[in-house]
Amino acid sequence: MIGRFNIGWGYFTELIGLDERFIFTVKTDNAGTSLDTQFTIPTSTTGITEPFLYDIETSDGQTITGVTGNHTITFPTAGTYDVKISGSFPYIRFNNEGDNLKLLDIKNFGIYALGSKSQDRAFNGCSNLVINATDIGHFENVTNFYVAWEGCTSLTTFPLIDTSSGNNFGFAWQGCTSLTTFPLLDTSSVGNFVFTWFNCTSLTTFPLLDTSSCTNFGHTWRNCTSLTSFPANAFDTNIASNYTSAFNSTNLTTQSIDDILVSLDTSGVLNGTFTQSGGEGPSYIGSIAINNLTAKGWTITTTTPVTSEEFVFTVKTDNAGTSGTNQFTIPTNTTGITEPFLYDIETSDGQTITGVTGDTTITFPTAGTYDVKISGSFPYIYFNNAGDKLKLLEIKNFGIYALDSTSQLSAFWGCSNLIISATDIGHFENVTDFQSAWNRCSSLTSFPLIDTSSGLVFTQTWQSCTNLISLPLIDTSNGLFFSYTWRACSSLTTFPLLDTSNGTNFFKAWEFCSSLTSFPSNAFDINIASNYIDAFLSTNLTTQSIDDILVSLDTSGVLNGTFAQSGGQAPSATGQTAITNLVGKGWTITTTT
């Protein structure tokens, strides 16, 4: 039978191998405010819930009892000594002064921090301190860790103490220049991480901490010059919008900055600020996230993005198509190419296919959504409203696409699920034929500013892109044929001032652009075309816009043309005067009345 005995806490902890004393090592003749045979223990009552009442034992045999605040220990000679504290000792506070340089090692936390809610500036400036303690002390109720270990430049590691109540970690490890690793602390309640790891120049990696409650990451990892790796999903559920200088002067890899930007985008936070400098820039993945964040009101500054030469797109294999539900066929065309196909493929499920010279079908392990990356020579994809057109979901990066191509005839025609998130412009600079290139790409809402400066044929190029709401100021100065080019782009409301001065045919160019209200003035001032048959039928032009169009046609001086508009508003007296002038030049004009 085992009886119940009152054996005392000290004896019990010794019996089971625990030591509840706060034990640290000091070197008395290091610089400090006490004599070179002394060490002063600094205390603070801020935020404590139990008063100081502690006993001291020293390795030279001294015992001091009933201490209630600061205390100076005098040793027989200058040297290195252990100090052991028992009782109630919630808070030591060096605040970068006093005998901060005399503290060498915390060997055991024991009762330290029990009865404390603040560790503000506790070990601040203890630049000779290492922590060899294997216990975790009693930090469980501490809310304020502000500047707690700032300037502890000898720390190489940090213990897994209980920081679950912490809400302020501002400057906590700033300037811990020898810190190489960091534990998976509980930071789930922290609201402030300003300058927390600033100038931790030896950190190379960082753990996946829960920082979801934080509202301020200003300068948090700034000047962590060795920091290359940062975890994915780190900010997925965060609420903060301030990441000003958070990653300035770091050495992040492209993968890490991509992961950070994607995670910020995932968080859904609006109107934020983020800054990174040093290391590598984002890839197309990060650049897409930057675009998304910018649209959410963010200001983003990063190292110059890395140019990726891969043509990257996303497919959904079980959408309707001619290949199997776990397959995707890449269609090619040799028309107008100046270099043959010779390309390699990587897929997001880990496949590598090399030396491909034409069409190829990729078989995936299961039906699903996958990324496909193409490198090498790949001038021309050719869906032509057939094959696996509905399986193509997104172009993430153009890269080498269209290099050594003069034709993009029907390239993406019928890819009605396609969006383009790519932030690069590919290699369309030598393409002359864009006929039907994006015809019926009805999921496109915007279009990238690719180089179309060599384009001659734009017939049906964006016809029936019914969700396209804006078009960039692309270079169409060499364009000859604009028949049906934007026909049935029913979501376009405005149109840019493109140079179409070489165009000879605008037959039905904007027909059925039923939301188009605004068209730029002077659009046709120097044009040579006479065929605007049905060009603006079933539009929604304002009086100002139809006036501007008619005046511009009159200004061009072209004779014997045909022009038709219906829908929207009728021209004013200004437009009517232009009509009279045009009719006098042999034109046939039809407008809304």
Chain segment 397-418, per-residue pLDDT in tens? 999 999 999 999 999 999 999 9
pLDDT interval class at 308 (50, 70, 90): confident
- What's the pLDDT score for residue 7? 32
- What's the pLDDT score for residue 5? 28
CB 349, CB 374: distance < 8 Å: no
Portion of the chain with pLDDT greater than 90, in percent: 95
Chain segment 63-101, per-residue pLDDT in tens? 999 999 999 999 999 999 999 999 999 999 999 999 999
State residue 243 phi and psi, 5-degree precision: -120, 35
Chain CA centroid to CA 349, Å? 23
Taking residues 170-193, report their average pLDDT.
Answer: 98
How far from 188 is each of 198, 215, 237, 258, CA to CA, in Å? 20, 12, 11, 24
How far from 323 is each of 115, 317, 328, 331, 346, CA to CA, in Å? 69, 8, 6, 11, 19
Taking residues 113-142, report their average pLDDT.
Answer: 97
Residue 10 clears pLDDT 70, i.e. is over it: no
Taking residues 350-365, report their average pLDDT.
Answer: 98
Q: What is the mean pLDDT of the chain?
A: 95
pLDDT interval class at 570 (50, 70, 90): very high
Residue 8 clears pLDDT 70, i.e. is over it: no
- Encoding tokens for residue 372? 């496909």
- Encoding tokens for residue 381? 């994809």
507 C-beta neighbours (distance < 10 Å), count: 20
pLDDT interval class at 149 (50, 70, 90): very high
d(CA 114, CA 108): 14
Residue with tokens 């269609």: 331
Residue 15 clears pLDDT 80, i.e. is over it: no
pLDDT interval class at 307 (50, 70, 90): confident
Amino acid at 557: G
d(CA 84, CA 452): 77
Chain segment 235-247, per-residue pLDDT in tens? 999 999 999 999 9
d(CA 123, CA 240): 28
d(CA 422, CA 135): 51
Taking residues 321-325, report their average pLDDT.
Answer: 98
Domain borders along the chain are 8-143
Taking residues 477-490, report their average pLDDT.
Answer: 98
d(CA 584, CA 513): 29
CB-count exposure of residue 551 (10 Å: 0-12, 13-18, 19+): buried
Taking residues 345-351, report their average pLDDT.
Answer: 97
State residue 473 phi and psi, 5-degree precision: -80, 70
SS3 of 58-70: the string is ECCCCEEEEECCC
Nearest by Cα to 532 from 575, 470, 573, 590: 590
Nearest by Cα to 585 from 569, 552, 568, 562: 562
d(CA 534, CA 510): 8
CB 289, CB 260: distance < 8 Å: no
Taking residues 370-399, report their average pLDDT.
Answer: 97
- What's the pLDDT score for residue 19? 86
- What's the pLDDT score for residue 408? 98
pLDDT interval class at 547 (50, 70, 90): very high
DSSP state of 390: G
- What's the pLDDT score for residue 13? 40
d(CA 459, CA 433): 9
Taking residues 561-566, report their average pLDDT.
Answer: 98
**Furthest CA-CA distance within the chain:** 121
Residue 194 clears pLDDT 50, i.e. is over it: yes
Mark out the alpha helices in 195-320 (DSSP H runs): 254-267, 284-295
What is the full DSSP assignment across 116-144?
BSB-TTSSTT-TT-EE---S-TT-TT--B
d(CA 388, CA 393): 11
Full-model pTM = 0.79
What residues contact residue 565 under an 8 Å CB cut-off, 6+ apart? 535, 536, 537, 539, 541, 546, 549, 590, 591, 592
Strands 369-377 and 342-347: antiparallel
